[in-house]
């Protein structure tokens, strides 16, 4: 059961002029499920992406980097689920290239104008023949209002599709943004998450789009974690078709800021959907660390808390065993941390004051907050003005079941 995550409704998802989405049931791993997505992008669009920092990055991630660097103008994306095409060596690279070649031939574009993406099991050969056989169907049913079906086509252990839209006014023109994401396990993105796609109909110059995608990733997908496992396939791609007539040419100024904030808000919504649907999640926790010397140490402490199995199981149990949070703060690796200045709140409840239990803290107050489905843990370090926020979920029996049974 995802945490406060209503099913997206097709009528709430807006088409983005210049983008068409089509899917197929290619039988990559299992029969009778959408497992291939093709996204067609109008000529003249700009596309930018950020990708996993995992050294075992998947073959499609390597090909994405090459094709973006080629600078020929991206015209299509092809995504498969059921197989990550990671840890697959040279044959894996050949498969990723073959899928681009096949799609490019059918669309009359160059292979370097295609970006490939894969998600699923690692260390198994990609059945590229089945993927290629599915392409004609996906091309045939591609249309602008297919965002919900597209979100369904990239699911793996997700319990529901993740998609959202919004609009923003830029220089008097309405810009429409729509995005989809997927992921429920192996989630601790460190560039972006597997997989997030956002398209919009503003015209955005390539270097500006790259700045936008990095900023949005840092404030959304790069600030979530489910299990601390950074995937081999994380990819977050931003598409700008320009069809709205709004133009953003520089990475500064009011137009840029308005678009940046809209993209970031949509990316945050999509990223939080991933946490809400985290494997076995019953609670969404916002870990906010403030009063740090720099953002890096705030993130370091937030992640230590967010990754602690003891903290996560206490939240699962709604048990205010909050010393576990202090323990995680203490081992996070900030060597000169003065714990006598650390304060801790659970929502509005002041739990620890100046490094020790707040004399006014009452167990029943902690218990009340712990029973909620959404909880903010606020940690004040008292050593500076930097802050950072990380979103995570609890660790439940279902997490173990899902991951012990994943392939079986």
Binding residues: 156, 182, 193, 279, 403, 408
* Binding residues among 241-260 for a second copy as defined by CB under 8 A: none
Least Å from the CB of residue 158 to a second copy: 16
* Binding site listing for substrate: 156, 182, 193, 279, 403, 408
For residue 298, how many C-alpha atoms fall within 13 Å in the half-sphere facing its CB?
24
Binding string to a second copy for residues 39 to 58, with x set by CB under 8 A, is what? --------------xxxxx-
Least Å from the CB of residue 391 to a second copy: 17
Which of 50, 38, 15 lies closest to 201 in space, CA to CA? 15
- Judged by CB under 8 A, which stretch of 107-115, 208-216, 228-236, 382-390 contacts a second copy? 228-236
Least Å from the CB of residue 1 to a second copy: 16
Residues 278, 4 contacting (CB under 8 angstroms): no
Which of 318, 328, 230 lies closest to 282 in space, CA to CA? 318
For residue 137, how many C-alpha atoms fall within 13 Å in the half-sphere facing its CB?
14
Using the rule CB under 8 A, is 292 a contact of a second copy?
Answer: no
SS3 assignment, position 104:
helix
Alpha helices in 219-321 (DSSP H): 253-276, 295-307, 309-316
- CB-nearer residue toward a second copy: 222 or 232: 232
How far apart are alpha carbons 232 and 224 in whole angstroms? 16
- CB-nearer residue toward a second copy: 201 or 227: 227
* Binding residues among 58-117 for a second copy as defined by CB under 8 A: 84, 86-92
- Judged by CB under 8 A, which stretch of 70-78, 174-182, 201-209, 229-237 contacts a second copy? 229-237
Tokens of 202: 């503003």
Axis-axis angle for helices 253-276, 206-218 (nearest 10) = 40
* Binding residues among 315-354 for a second copy as defined by CB under 8 A: 316-317, 319, 321-324, 326-331, 334-335, 337, 339-340, 342, 351-352, 354
Residues 237, 48 contacting (CB under 8 angstroms): yes
Using the rule CB under 8 A, is 395 a contact of a second copy?
Answer: yes
- 193 tagged catalytic: yes
Residue in 193, 232, 286, 392 annotated catalytic: 193
- Judged by CB under 8 A, which stretch of 95-103, 140-148, 285-293, 400-408 contacts a second copy? 400-408
Total site size for a second copy, rule CB under 8 A: 71
Using the rule CB under 8 A, is 300 a contact of a second copy?
Answer: no
| Cα Rg, the chain, nearest whole Å | 22
- Judged by CB under 8 A, which stretch of 242-250, 267-275, 303-311, 372-380 contacts a second copy? 303-311
* Binding residues among 351-390 for a second copy as defined by CB under 8 A: 351-352, 354-357
Axis-axis angle for helices 309-316, 323-331 (nearest 10) = 160
- CB-nearer residue toward a second copy: 335 or 348: 335
Least Å from the CB of residue 111 to a second copy: 23
How far apart are alpha carbons 96 and 74 in whole angstroms? 16
Residues 112, 150 contacting (CB under 8 angstroms): no
Residues 208, 248 contacting (CB under 8 angstroms): yes
* Binding residues among 186-225 for a second copy as defined by CB under 8 A: 186, 188, 190
Axis-axis angle for helices 128-140, 89-107 (nearest 10) = 20
What are the residue numbers of the active site?
Answer: 193
């Amino acid at each position: 059961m995802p945490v406060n995550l209503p099913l997206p409704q097709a009528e709430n998802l807006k088409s983005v002029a210049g983008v068409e989405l089509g899917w197929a049931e290619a039988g990559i791993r299992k029969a009778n499920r959408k497992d291939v997505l093709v996204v067609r992008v109008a000529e003249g669009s700009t596309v930018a992406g950020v990708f996993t920092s995992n050294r075992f990055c998947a073959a499609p991630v390597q090909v994405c980097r090459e094709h973006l660097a080629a600078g020929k103008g991206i015209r299509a994306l092809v995504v498969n689920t059921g197989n990550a095409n990671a840890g697959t060596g040279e044959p894996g690279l050949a498969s990723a290239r073959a899928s681009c070649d096949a799609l490019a031939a059918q669309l009359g574009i160059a292979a370097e104008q295609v970006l490939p993406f894969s998600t699923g099991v690692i260390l198994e050969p990609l059945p590229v023949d089945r993927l290629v056989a599915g392409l004609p169907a996906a091309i045939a049913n591609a249309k602008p209002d297919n965002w919900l079906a597209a979100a369904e086509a990239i699911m793996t252990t997700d319990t529901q599709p993740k998609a959202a839209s919004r609009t923003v006014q830029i220089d008097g023109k309405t810009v429409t943004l729509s995005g989809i994401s997927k992921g429920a396990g192996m989630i601790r993105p460190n560039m972006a998450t597997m997989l997030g796609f956002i398209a919009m109909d503003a015209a955005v110059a390539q270097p500006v789009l790259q700045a936008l995608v990095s900023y949005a990733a840092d404030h959304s997908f790069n600030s979530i974690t489910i299990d601390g496992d950074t995937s081999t396939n994380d990819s977050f791609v931003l598409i700008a078709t320009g069809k709205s007539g709004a133009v953003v040419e520089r990475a500064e100024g009011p137009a840029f800021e308005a678009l940046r904030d809209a993209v970031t808000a949509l990316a945050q919504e999509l990223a939080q959907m991933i946490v809400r649907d985290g494997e076995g999640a019953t609670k969404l926790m916002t870990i906010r660390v403030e009063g740090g010397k720099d953002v890096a140490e705030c993130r370091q402490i937030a992640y230590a808390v967010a990754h602690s199995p003891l903290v996560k199981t206490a939240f699962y149990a709604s048990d205010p065993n909050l010393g576990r949070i202090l323990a995680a703060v203490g081992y996070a690796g900030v060597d000169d941390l003065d714990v006598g200045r650390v304060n801790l709140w659970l929502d509005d409840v002041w739990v620890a004051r100046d490094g020790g239990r707040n004399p006014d803290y009452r167990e029943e107050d902690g218990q009340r907050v712990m029973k909620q489905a959404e909880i903010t843990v606020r940690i004040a370090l008292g050593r500076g003005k930097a802050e950072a926020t990380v979103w995570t979920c609890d660790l439940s029996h279902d997490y173990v079941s899902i991951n012990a049974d994943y392939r079986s």
